[in-house]
Structure 1
Amino acid sequence: MLKHSLLTILCLALFVSCKNEAKQTVDLEENRAKSYNQDDGFVTLKGDFIYYGDAAVLQTASEIYGVVIDENLHLLEKEVKPFKKEATDMVPVTVRVRKFEKGKDEEGWQYRVEIKEILKVEAPDPESKDVIKLAN
C-alpha cells in the first residue's frame, strides 16, 4: 500500500511539473507569434544582455547589437539586476525590439535595437564557462 501511494505521488508530481514547463514554453511561443504576426516591424530576440557604464549590449547566437538607452532599457536592467552576481554579468533575456542600422558617423555595432517589450528574463546558467574578467 505504501509503495502504491508513493508511486502515485511521484507520478502526480511529474505530471504537474511537466504541465508548468509546457505552459511556460507555450506562453513564450505565443509571445513570439504575437511579435511576428503583428506586422509592426518589431522582432523577438533572445540573447545575453548587459548594461555597464554607459553602454548596453544584447548578444544573440549570431549577432551583437547595441541597445538604445531609454526608459525600457532601465526597466530591463531592474529586472536583470537580481540575477547578477557582478556588475559585468550577462543575463539571458527575450525581448521585442525595433531593429535598425546605426548611423554612418556613429561608433559601435552595425545594428542597434530599441527595446519595446520585455518578454522574459532568466537566471544565467551557473555551469557556463563563458566568463570574461576585466582587470587593470
Structure 2
Amino acid sequence: MKKINFIIILTLILFACKNETKPEVNLEENRSKSYDESDGLVTMKGDFVYYDNAAVFQTSNEIYGVVIDENLHLLEKQVKAFKKEATDMVPITVRVRKFEKAEGEEGWQHRVEIKEVLNVEAPGPNNNDVIKLGN
C-alpha cells in the first residue's frame, strides 16, 4: 500500500513540476480572445483602403472613416503586400472603437479607430469592382 501511495505522490510531483514556456502569440489565439473579451471594442470584417491621407473601412452594409494614427499605419504596411494598385481595397478583420463624427467636422458620419489587427487577406481574384478613369 505504501508503494502505491509513493507512486501516486511521485507522479503528481512530476506533473506539477512541468516546465512551461510561453509560446509566441499567434493570430488564432488573438482572434478567439478578441471575440470573447468585453472591453467595448467591436470585431469587424470588411474592405480597407488608405489613399492620399484618407482611410475608409467598408463593411457589407456601412462605410466608416478611419482615424489616422499609429495603428492605421501598421495596418497599411500589412495591406501593401496585397495591393496591386494604390486604390485597391483589401479584406481585413479588425477590433475597433466605433463612434460618430463631431458636429461640423468633415468626413464620414460613422468613424472607427483601429485598436487591433486580427487578419489581413488577399483580395479575391474575381473582384472587379474597380472603375478606372483615363484620358
> TM-score by structure 1 length?
0.73
Q: CA deviation at 1:133?
A: 2.0
Q: Does 1:131 align with 2:126?
A: no
Q: Structure 1 CA distance, aligned partners of 2:99 and 2:84?
A: 31
Partner of 2:65: 66
**Code of the aligned partner of 1:108:** G
Q: How does 1:1-136 map to 2 (within 5 A)?
A: 27=28, 31=31, 34-135=33-134
Alpha-carbon displacement from aligned partner over 1:76-104 (angstroms, at most 9, x marks no partner): 00000010010010000000001111001
Alpha-carbon displacement from aligned partner over 1:50-94 (angstroms, at most 9, x marks no partner): 000010000000100000000000000000001001001000000
Q: Structure 1 CA distance, aligned partners of 2:133 and 2:113?
A: 27
Q: CA deviation at 1:132?
A: 2.3
Q: Structure 2 CA distance, aligned partners of 1:132 and 1:81?
A: 20
Percent of aligned pairs sharing the same letter:
72
> TM-score by structure 2 length?
0.74
4+ runs deviating over 6 angstroms:
none
Q: CA deviation at 1:111?
A: 1.0
Q: State the Cα RMSD in Å.
A: 1.7
- Structure 2 unaligned blocks of 5 or more: 1-27
Secondary structure in 2 aligned to 1:83? coil
Retained in 2: the 8 A contact 1:36–1:42? no
**Code of the aligned partner of 2:37:** Q
**Code of the aligned partner of 2:41:** F
Q: How many residues align?
A: 108
